[in-house]
Structure 1
Amino acid sequence: MDAQGVDAQVIYPTVGGQILGKTFADPELLLAVCSGYNDWSLEYCSLAPERLRMAAMLPVQAPDPAIEEARRTAAKGASCYYVRPNPVANRNLYHSDYDPLWNEIESLSKPVCIHDSGSPYLPSYGDRMETHTSGHIIAHPFEAMVAMMSLIWYGTIERHPDLAIVHVEADAGWLPYWLQRMEQHWDFSGCAEHPELKKRPTEYFKSNFLVACRGDEMTLPAACELVGDDYITFNTDYPHPDGTWPLGMEHLEKQPLSEESIRKIFWDNAAPVFGCA
């Protein structure tokens, strides 16, 4: 971090994230497994709490224990909550069973960070492919796109206007197209099938979402121009081999963007969301 000039980073689970797809017959065991990971991560991040920001893993297979764990980890210093974009226990993120959890997280003023990863337990767009590479190409961005769309169109953001959503490790170049696609559908159907909606899709996006980019995205300047540089932040996926370390910072600094835009992406947009400002 010092070598790269990184002031703070959010720590996410890797293999541990697969727990969020596994079926547990015993909710207490599920909670114990998630709590065990969270306690380890909290202890690890406590070595430099201002720089290492912990993402608590919530046992979303069982929404009531997830509420309990959200409260417990918030009291111990968690900066945000990690959930999968995939349907877990046959529930999409907009499912009404999650509304009490989103209410609780709103009251705690911490973001929900949506992060895909490989799992044999969850449905994924990558399942249609025959190699890890081809599955990985589509899984992360496609799962993020569908999660964003569903949270907007099924009224989760309307019901929870203070729920901050951060999409990580899914790139950001798809944002202009995806918002355009949703706006097109609003223009020809409005809220006919989704009467709960009171605003256009892009309005919900701009009030509640942040999307993390890679520094080497050739489409990043277009996303900043067409969507706005207030809605994009930065990730490296360190230390994964498909991440951008050690050149991600340099790549972003060399993008044809203003110094103000680069500062927003590096720090200004994410810092207040994660309690660093």
Structure 2
Amino acid sequence: MVSRIIDGDAHLMDGPEVAYKRYLPEEYRSRTGPFFGYFGWDIWLRGTLGKPNSDPDTYCKDMDTEGIQLAVAYPSSALSIGLVRELDLAVAVARAYNEWAHDFGKAAHGRIKAAAVIAPQVVADAVKEIRRAVTQLGAVAIMMPTYVSPGLDLGQPQFDPIYAEAQDLGVPVAFHATAQVSQGNTRFHKYLGVHMVSHPFEQMISIISIISNGVLDRFPRLKVAFLEAGVGWVPYWMDRFDEKYQARKAEMEPLKMLPSEYVKANRCFFTCEGEESALPLMIERFGDDCILYASDYPHWDTEWPNTARHILERKDLSEKSKEKILCSNAHSFYGLK
């Protein structure tokens, strides 16, 4: 019997009318262009998928339906903040989102905790926003977009102040992709292919950047997560990572351990899909301490109201593993009270 359920990756619907036109400074509210880049796919498939809503009370009722006590929420529109090339706008929308998400969480009776949005293309302002969001607004994590225009290596030292601030404040950094950009997504003429490559490919790239560039060695108390890509890719990718690192480590700064060992040491966390066939393999290879449950509510591909049930009813997971995935791992990773 699971003690309680914590959603490690839910989402808020931060549309322009509910969030940005209310929380941005006046000079940005009246702009004629969009706050984020245009995305033309019919993601919600003519309204037949997902359960979009921007009402805190409805959100809480839908959490109750799933048996979720607490959720950590990431944005929707602001997932693509790394694509915003107007630097002042990027900084402003990050601040506006964090204030709106804080108020949304309060209206949800404290059951929704926010991951703070930052604009990593402006590192100095990102660091200031991390401190403000955590110390003043109660953010429990920092969302790092996997893609920062024009395609930067997020493990390079120019981003170290972001990781240093997160470590100093004791909050994790969670990498989250947007389907607006990923390797290979321009090849497809239907959203199915675009979405399938976006999250896993972006997280495969991100974990290479963070581990191979020594971020986890430079910041030994920092925890990171790679979200919304499932866990099936992790055993394959870390095998490949170990092999290529051992072959080419002469050209690199030495790591303190093999890439896969950072996962085994619970420095890296991942969100799972409840029905993934590879979940037992992931546990066999890396243990059950690094896996978080995620509903992806209210997005088009959420399986609400059955996302938690997919895990609860599995016969190939122990009750101990279910407790960790559905509750205690998120509690530990996010430092929840």
Length-normalised TM-score, structure 2: 0.77
Match runs of 1:212-227 below 5 Å: 212-227=271-286
Superposed counterparts of 1:94-243, under 5 Å: 94-119=155-180, 122=181, 124-189=183-248, 191-207=249-265, 208-243=267-302
Question: CA, structure 1 residues 150+15, in 2 after alignment: closer, same or farther (shift >3 Å)?
Answer: same
In structure 1, what is the Cα distance between the partners aligned to 2:123 and 2:263? 25
What is the CA–CA distance in structure 2 between the aligned matches of 1:183 and 1:31, rounded to whole Å? 37
CA distance 1:46–1:55, shift in 2 (3 Å): same
Any unmatched runs of 5+ in structure 1?
none
Q: Per-residue CA shift, 1:168-220, capped at 9, x if unaligned?
A: 1111111111111112224434x212223121112222331100001111111
Q: How many residues align?
A: 272
CA contact (8 A) 1:45 1:54 kept: yes
Deviations 1:3-51 (A, max 9, x none): 2111211111101222321101xx4433222111111011111234642
SS at structure 1 position matched to 2:251 = coil
The yes-or-no answer on 1:45 pairing with 2:140 is no
Which residue does 1:71 correspond to in 2?
131
Distance 1:159 1:126, change over 3 A: same
Aligned AA (1:4): E
Tell me what 1:271 maps to: 331
Partner of 1:2: 64
Which of 41, 61, 75 matches 1:13? 75
Aligned structure 1 segments of 4 or more residues deviating by more than 4 angstroms: none
What is the rounded CA distance, in whole Å, between the counterparts of 1:21 and 1:273 in structure 2? 27
Q: Which amino acid aligns with 2:84?
A: K
Q: Report the more deviating stretch, 262-271 or 177-186.
A: 177-186
Over 3 Å counting, the alpha-carbon distance change for 1:49 and 1:203 in structure 2 is: farther
Specify the SS of the correspondent of 2:174.
Answer: strand
Contact residue 61 and residue 89 of structure 1 kept, 8 A: no
Q: Structure 1 residues 49, 155: closer, same or farther in 2, change over 3 A?
A: farther
Distance in 1 of aligned mates of 2:328 and 2:197: 29
Shift of 1:229: 1.0
Matched, 1:86 2:147: yes
Question: Are residues 248 and 29 of structure 1, via their aligned partners in 2, closer, same or farther at CA, if it must alter by over 3 Å?
Answer: closer
Q: C-alpha distance in 2, partners of 1:12/1:162?
A: 23
RMSD of the TM alignment (CA)?
Answer: 1.7
Which structure is larger by alpha-carbon Rg, 1 or 2? 2
Q: More displaced, 200-209 or 2-11?
A: 200-209
Matched residue type, 1:170: A
Cα distance in structure 2, aligned partners of 1:128 and 1:86: 18
Which ranges of structure 2 fall in alignment gaps of 5 or more residues?
A: 1-62
Q: Which amino acid aligns with 1:41?
A: A
Most deviating of 154-163 and 198-207: 198-207
Distance 1:151 1:131 in 2: 31
User: Quick check: 249-258 or 198-207, which moved more?
Assistant: 198-207
1:59 matched to 2:119? yes
> d(CA) in 2 for partners of 1:243 and 1:2?
16
Q: Which amino acid aligns with 1:94?
A: G
Secondary structure of the residue aligned to 1:273 is: helix
TM-score between the two structures when normalised by the length of structure 1: 0.92
